[in-house]
Every structure is written in structure tokens, then in C-alpha cells.
């Protein structure tokens, strides 16, 4: 037996995949390391291979005709067992027993995998019993027979009856509470539930109509599908006869769902996998083949077809997942009972709505092992706390650095851990760093608009920074939605002749929303009306609903992998800091969120001169003439890099565009010491076509952070003595990371 690793993904690997799907760091740092995962055990660790073991039979009473042998397990279970590795040291076959001497009252020998001993020379000559048949008693005896223990354990065992009883009682009690809570919430709703909240019925109806208009093309696709399927049947038959045919279809490179060796080495599961992949390809090709659809409709149909295809993966069902079947056999089904308990816990957390647990949240505390860079809150208003971080150098750059993070999530994505904290690194480079920590709004802030975020965010932060440091001009960074706010603020300041922001940096920011990626699937009039109705009832958009939207963009890694881990394998989530941050979502005020979705995503008004008016000023992004540094990431699924690139054609000042490898988070949070990824820089003026820019760009290994530091210091190299929070014109209110960041969405 080779030492190749068997089994599917561990909880840590599932967490890593989830983090990678978020565009997050590829390595986690859990607070307490777990024991290394050992090799997967076979279904019966001490059983002989099923194809060699004697059939399982029942012992017969004396004098009764032996019954026909009964198979120990079904062919499907045999396939599962065959997919399990043998023990490192296979047990040796038991030696044949010594010849049996005649005794006055011998006990009958039970039929078992133990080899039948040869007859004693003293015994009458008789034919040996057939394999698997019960041995006849050697002599009549008035005492009850005492069966001999078998040498092999059964492949499957039943769960502990007490555990089953306790679990079922717990399920009944908790299930009643969940249903009662669900009905209570339904009764409080001001409007009946929308049967099609995602507005996909019309899109699929149009797609079906277009397909039926060309039956020949549909028939051709069907014929091709059946030809591939027949080839798969033939190849499977050849494999079962010892052949090694090439697969008809293979999973995509990097598809972690089929990591278990059984998907390749076992004929049954290989057939199931390829059947699924063929069906997936067929559905996808048919959808792509629908002619005459608008780009918006085609994108929506394609997106939700992929959601269906991902959900139907055989890895998501316990009867067709070899790893789950092995676990079920090993634990006697206790993994499924534990998974049911996990499912109920997640339904309880969501008050009747499923909220999948992605990480062990109990292992993290904000301010203790998350967001721990030293600093002080020096200013607070109804919408944000302003944090000034403590210096680690004797001198600092003259211009303070103001960071505007997005308020869809918490700011500490830039301060997760000391070793990957952009905030800590910027402080070490001599920056006096200020960060806006946004409040997690409730219904009292329902009327907060985008202009309120501008006025109470960057504008009041600039005033506070000047009081705290005495400096009028700052360098500013905007991340994602924070970058959209920064650009809007710069255009507003340009209208008023305000030059307090001397340079601007944009992290993965969209200003032109014409090609907004797959998030555009959720933006149409019907969905916006339904969303606005929901927000009008509560005053905000619940953070979990926004998180669900982003998770759907990477469903296999951010939804289904955790369904398998938590509910089918019955495992506890692995502690992972990035997934903790991802689950720490924030609410969105109704007025602001409606404005953002309609004016930015749906109508793309921000790039139209004068179309957006904030606080009395009509915005024109062409008025932005200060130096700008634009960072995009190549695999960004939230702010596609080619959309971010369009800002280079909008601003009127000098622009440096840098493209980083990886995604929306890992491409940004990539410290120099990690030695990971790369980035591209072009020294020529940015051409109109982003593909042309990429052809001229030069790739550099490692982090882009040093490139940004060289650029920012080139704007102004003046230094001053390092500034201590609270020692200037603003007193320290409390220690970083403050109070606002600790308010969870469920509080």
C-alpha cells in the first residue's frame, strides 16, 4: 500500500479554501494548533478485504439445515470499503486451529471468517462444509451452544442507542423552537414573502423560449451528451475488467471537491463524478447556447445555473460522498447525528434562517488577538470612531495618513494579525496612521445617506486630524467602498477649492460600474424594489444578507464545503482569523444603501459629470487633479481589475496604476515578509485599453507595499517628531480598536 494520502479535506483545509475564495491570506494562524490529521482509517480497521472475507452467516441451531450464505454488505458498500486504505500493518491471518479431539459435549463452532479446520484423524471421514455455511454440531449436547468469537469486526456498526435517543429528543425540542421563531417572524412581516425574490423566473423563461426556438441546436447538444455518456459507460466497464481507459471528462484543476482518492481509484465513485461533470457541462453549454438574450439576462441565467450545478455536486450528499460514507461507517452514524445538531445550532443562530458556521468564533476576541496594533480613539461621532495609532519610530512623515475602509465589513481586515497588518507596517514606515472605524448601524440611523458618510467620515476626520497633529494636509487611502467615498469626497472638495488631501490611494475600488462583475446579477429594478421594501421595514439591510450575496460568488468554497464539513462529517469549524472577519458583517443604513445600489451600480452615475449631487455640489471626477495611486488585484471577483483600471482615464492628475496578483483581500493584505505573489507596474502613461497596459507592464516578485511606500514618500519627504495619540489637541477617549468595531451584527 502506497503512502499516498487518503481522505478528503480536513477542517483546516476547508477553512483555507474558504479564505482563498474570499481572496484572503492562504495561511491561517489559529490560536491553538490542532493535532496533525492521521491517515484515514478503513471501514473496518481489522477486517480482511471484502473480496477475500468469508460471507457473513448466522449460526444455526443444531439439527437445522444450514441457510444459504448472506452477503455481508451491498455492492455499493463494498465499493466504499474498497476505497478505504488498508491498515499500515495488515493483521496476519489467524493460524489454523489444532485438531479437535472428541469431547463428551463439544460446543458447536460458529461460522465466521475463521478458516474451517481440517477434520481430526480420529473423527469419521466427512466432506468439508461449503464456504460460508454453518458448521454442523459434532455431537448432541443438552447445554446451549456457545459461539466462538469471529476474527473480523463488521464493516458497519450501529450508533450508541443512548446518543440517538438524546439527539432525537434534542432535535424535537430545538426544532419546535426554530419553527415557532420562524412563524413568529413571518407573522410580523408587513408584506407577504416574495416567491421570486431574486427575480430569476423571467430570465429562465426567456432563456427557455429562446432554446425552443432552435430545436435542432438543442437536439444536437442532447446527442453529444448521450454520446459522452455511452463512452463513460464503456470506459467504466473496461475499468471493472482491469483496463485503464482515459477519463471522458476531468474536474477543473484546483477543484477541491474531488480531493478524496476514491473519486479516482474506485470505479463506482469515478463513474458518479464523471456523470456529474458531464451533466454540468451539458447544462452550462445549453445555457450558453441560448441566442438572443440580453447581456444582463445571459449573465443572470449563467450565474444561477452555476448555483444549481454546484448544489447538485455528489460531494454534497452523504450517500455519494466516499469520505462521508467512511466517516459514517467508522462512527456508526454518529457524525450524522452531530451534523444534525450543528445544523440546528446554525438555524438557531439565524432565528430560523440558515447561518453556516465557518469558524470557531469563540477563539477570537477583538482587541485581544484580533486588531491589536496599539493606538487610541481620539474622536467619535454618530457614524465613526477615529483611531490614531501609536508610533514605533522616533520621527514620522509630516503628512498624516488617513485610511477610509469599507463599511460593509469591519476595518480590521487591515489589522488582522501583527505579521500581516498593513496598519502596523505603515506605522513602522514612519506614518502617523488614522483609521475610520465605522459604526454598525441600527434602525436609528436609517436616514443616514451617502452624503452623511462623506460629511461625518472624511470631512470630520480631516478636522480632527488637524487638531490632533497640527497638520492641515494628509495622504488618504480608500479601500473598496471606502475608495468610492474617497473619490466622491475629492470631487466635492475640488468644487469647494479644498486641498487638504494631498494624495490619494485606492485599493480595489470601482468608480465606473459599467462592468461590475457578477455582483451585477443582484442589481435590477425588481430586486431593488424588493430590497428597499425590506429595508423600509427594518431601517437597514442585515449584515448576514450582504454576506450571503458575497458567499454565492464562491459557493463551492464558502457554502458547500462547510455544509459537508459541518453537517455531513459532523466536524467543528476550524478557527481562522480571516473567516472570523468575514462573518463579522455589518448592517447598511437603508437610505445610504439604496443610493449606492441605484446611483452607482444600476445607473453608473458617478462617472457622469454632474449626475451625482452630494451636500449641494454636483460631482465631476475629472476635477480630481492630485497624485493618485490605484491598486487593483488580478483575480478580484468583487471589483474586477479592468473596471478599477478605468479610473486611470477619469482623473486629471498623475496616476500610478499597479496590478497585484491574487484577489480582493490577499492581493491587498500581502506583507513583504510573506514573499508571496507578485505585482505588475508600467512606467508608460496608462493607455485606454487595460489589456494594452498589461502587455507593457513589468512583473515584480513579492508585495506591492514597498512600491507604494516609495511613491508616497516621493510626494513629500518632510519628517517631524513622532506623534503620540492623546498628546496633541485631542485627548484619548479609549484604547484601540475602540467600541464601534466590537458591536456585532446580532447585537
User: What tens digit of pLDDT does each residue of 317-332 get?
Assistant: 999 999 999 999 999 8
Sign of CA dihedral 506, 611, 602, 529: positive
Enter the C-alpha cell of residue 565. Answer: 464539513
Residues 6+ apart with CB under 8 A from 64: none
Residues 306/287, Cβ–Cβ less than 8 Å: no
Residue bearing cell 502506497: 2
C-alpha cell at 453: 458618510
Pick the CATH number of 375-517+605-742 from 3.40.605.10, 1.10.10.1100, 3.40.50.1820, 3.20.20.120: 3.40.50.1820
The stretch 83-111 carries a mean pLDDT of 44
Q: What is the pLDDT of residue 46?
A: 38
**pLDDT bucket at 22, cuts 50 / 70 / 90:** low
Q: What is the pLDDT of residue 188?
A: 63
For the segment 48-77, the average pLDDT, to the nearest whole number, is 40
Q: Which of 27-36, 238-247, 349-358, 621-630 has the lowest mean pLDDT?
A: 27-36
Cβ neighbours around 5 below 10 Å, total: 12
Is 480 considered catalytic here?
A: yes
Distance, in Å, from the CA atom of 68 to the CA atom of 78, rounded to the nearest integer, reads 20
pLDDT in tens, 495-507: 999 999 999 999 9
Calculate the CA 723 to chain-centre distance: 40
The share of the chain scoring above pLDDT 90, in percent, equals 65
Look at the block and give the residue holding cell 481522505.
7
Domain assignments of the chain as residue spans, ordered by start: 375-517+605-742
- Per-residue pLDDT, averaged over 723-744, amounts to 95
Q: Kindly report the backbone phi and psi dihedral angles of residue 479, in degrees, each rounded to the nearest multiple of 5, phi listed first.
A: -110, 120
Q: How confident is the model at residue 747 (pLDDT cuts 50, 70, 90)?
A: low
Please tell me the distance from the alpha carbon of residue 92 to that of residue 81, in angstroms, as a whole number.
19
Q: With beta carbons less than 8 A apart as the criterion, state whether 328 and 570 touch.
A: no
Q: The cell 479554501 sits on which residue?
A: 17
* Region at 702 (left for phi over 0; alpha for psi -120 to 50; beta for the rest): left
pLDDT-based confidence at residue 171 (cuts at 50, 70, 90):
confident
Cα four-point dihedral sign 342, 344, 346, 348: negative
Cell numbers of 175, please?
426544532
Cell of 378: 481620539
Annotated active-site residue in 80, 112, 480, 661: 480
Which residue's entry shows cell 459604526?
Answer: 439
Closest-CA residue to 11 (of 413, 348, 342): 342
Calculate the average pLDDT of the chain. Answer: 83
pLDDT at 29 over 90: no
Amino acid at each position: 500500500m502506497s503512502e499516498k494520502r487518503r481522505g478528503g479535506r480536513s477542517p483546516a483545509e476547508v477553512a483555507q479554501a474558504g479564505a482563498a475564495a474570499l481572496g484572503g491570506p492562504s495561511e491561517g494562524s489559529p490560536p491553538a494548533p490542532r493535532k496533525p490529521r492521521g491517515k484515514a482509517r478503513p471501514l473496518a480497521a481489522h477486517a480482511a478485504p471484502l473480496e477475500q472475507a468469508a460471507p457473513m452467516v448466522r449460526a444455526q441451531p443444531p439439527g437445522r439445515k444450514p441457510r444459504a450464505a448472506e452477503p455481508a454488505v451491498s455492492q455499493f458498500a463494498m465499493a466504499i470499503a474498497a476505497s478505504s486504505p488498508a491498515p499500515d500493518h495488515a493483521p496476519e491471518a489467524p493460524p489454523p486451529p489444532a485438531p479437535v479431539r472428541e469431547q463428551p459435549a463439544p460446543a458447536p463452532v460458529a461460522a465466521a471468517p475463521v478458516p474451517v479446520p481440517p477434520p481430526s484423524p480420529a473423527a469419521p471421514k466427512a466432506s468439508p462444509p461449503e464456504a460460508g455455511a454453518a458448521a454442523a454440531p459434532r455431537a448432541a449436547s443438552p447445554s446451549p451452544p456457545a459461539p466462538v468469537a469471529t476474527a473480523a469486526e463488521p464493516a458497519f456498526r450501529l450508533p450508541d442507542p443512548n446518543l440517538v435517543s438524546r439527539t432525537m429528543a434534542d432535535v424535537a425540542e430545538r426544532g419546535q423552537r426554530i419553527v415557532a421563531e420562524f412563524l413568529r417572524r413571518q407573522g410580523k412581516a408587513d408584506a407577504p414573502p416574495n416567491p421570486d425574490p431574486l427575480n430569476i423566473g423571467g430570465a429562465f423563461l426567456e432563456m427557455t423560449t429562446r432554446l425552443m426556438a432552435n430545436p435542432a441546436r438543442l437536439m444536437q447538444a442532447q446527442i453529444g451528451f448521450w454520446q459522452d455518456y455511452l463512452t463513460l459507460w464503456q470506459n467504466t466497464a473496461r475499468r471493472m475488467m482491469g483496463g485503464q481507459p482515459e477519463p471522458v471528462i476531468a474536474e477543473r484543476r484546483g477543484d477541491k471537491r474531488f480531493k478524496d482518492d476514491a473519486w479516482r481509484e474506485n470505479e463506482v465513485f469515478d463513474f458518479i463524478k464523471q456523470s456529474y461533470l458531464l451533466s454540468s457541462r451539458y447544462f452550462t453549454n445549453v445555457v450558453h447556447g441560448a441566442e438572443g438574450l440580453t447581456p444582463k439576462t445571459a449573465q443572470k441565467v449563467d450565474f444561477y445555473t452555476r448555483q444549481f450545478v454546484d448544489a447538485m455536486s455528489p460531494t454534497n450528499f452523504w450517500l455519494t460522498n466516499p469520505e462521508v460514507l467512511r466517516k459514517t461507517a467508522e462512527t456508526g452514524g454518529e457524525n450524522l447525528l452531530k451534523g444534525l445538531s450543528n445544523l440546528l445550532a446554525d438555524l438557531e443562530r439565524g432565528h430560523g434562517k440558515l447561518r453556516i458556521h465557518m469558524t470557531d468564533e469563540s477563539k477570537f476576541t477583538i482587541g485581544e488577538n484580533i486588531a491589536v496594533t496599539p493606538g487610541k480613539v481620539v474622536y467619535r461621532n454618530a457614524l465613526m470612531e477615529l483611531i490614531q495609532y501609536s508610533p514605533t519610530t522616533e520621527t514620522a512623515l509630516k503628512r498624516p495618513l488617513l485610511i477610509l475602509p469599507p463599511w460593509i465589513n469591519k476595518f480590521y481586515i487591515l489589522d488582522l494579525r501583527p505579521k500581516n497588518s498593513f496598519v502596523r507596517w505603515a506605522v513602522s514606515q514612519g506614518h502617523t496612521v488614522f483609521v475610520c472605524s465605522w459604526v454598525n448601524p441600527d434602525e436609528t440611523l436609517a436616514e443616514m445617506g451617502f452624503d452623511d458618510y462623506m460629511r461625518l467620515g472624511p470631512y470630520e476626520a480631516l478636522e480632527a486630524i488637524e487638531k490632533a497633529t497640527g497638520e492641515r494636509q494628509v495622504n488618504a487611502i480608500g479601500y473598496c467602498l471606502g475608495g468610492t467615498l474617497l473619490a466622491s469626497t475629492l470631487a466635492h472638495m475640488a468644487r469647494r477649492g479644498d486641498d487638504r488631501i494631498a494624495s490619494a490611494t485606492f485599493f480595489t475600488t470601482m468608480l465606473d460600474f459599467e462592468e461590475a462583475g457578477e455582483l451585477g446579477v443582484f442589481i435590477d429594478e425588481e430586486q431593488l424594489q424588493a430590497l428597499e421594501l425590506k429595508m423600509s421595514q427594518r431601517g437597514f439591510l442585515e449584515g448576514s444578507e450582504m454576506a450571503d450575496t458575497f458567499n454565492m460568488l464562491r459557493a463551492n468554497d464558502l457554502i458547500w464545503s462547510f455544509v459537508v464539513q459541518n453537517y455531513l462529517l459532523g466536524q467543528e469549524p476550524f478557527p481562522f482569523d480571516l473567516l472570523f472577519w468575514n462573518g463579522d458583517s455589518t448592517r447598511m443604513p437603508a437610505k445610504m444603501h439604496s443610493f449606492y445600489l441605484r446611483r452607482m451600480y444600476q445607473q453608473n452615475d458617478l462617472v457622469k459629470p454632474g449626475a451625482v449631487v452630494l451636500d449641494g455640489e454636483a460631482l465631476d471626477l475629472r476635477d480630481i487633479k492630485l497624485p493618485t495611486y490605484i491598486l487593483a488585484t488580478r483575480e478580484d471577483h468583487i471589483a474586477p481589475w479592468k473596471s478599477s483600471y478605468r479610473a486611470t482615464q477619469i482623473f486629471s492628475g498623475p496616476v500610478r496604476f499597479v496590478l497585484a496578483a491574487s484577489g480582493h483581500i490577499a492581493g491587498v493584505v500581502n506583507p513583504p515578509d510573506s514573499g508571496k505573489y507578485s505585482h505588475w507596474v508600467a512606467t508608460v502613461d496608462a493607455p485606454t485599453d487595460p489589456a494594452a497596459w498589461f502587455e507593457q507592464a513589468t512583473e515584480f516578485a513579492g508585495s506591492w507595499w514597498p512600491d507604494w511606500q516609495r511613491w508616497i514618500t516621493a510626494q513629500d519627504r518632510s519628517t517631524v517628531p513622532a506623534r503620540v495619540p492623546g498628546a496633541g489637541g485631542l485627548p484619548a477617549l479609549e484604547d484601540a480598536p475602540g467600541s464601534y468595531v466590537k458591536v456585532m451584527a446580532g447585537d
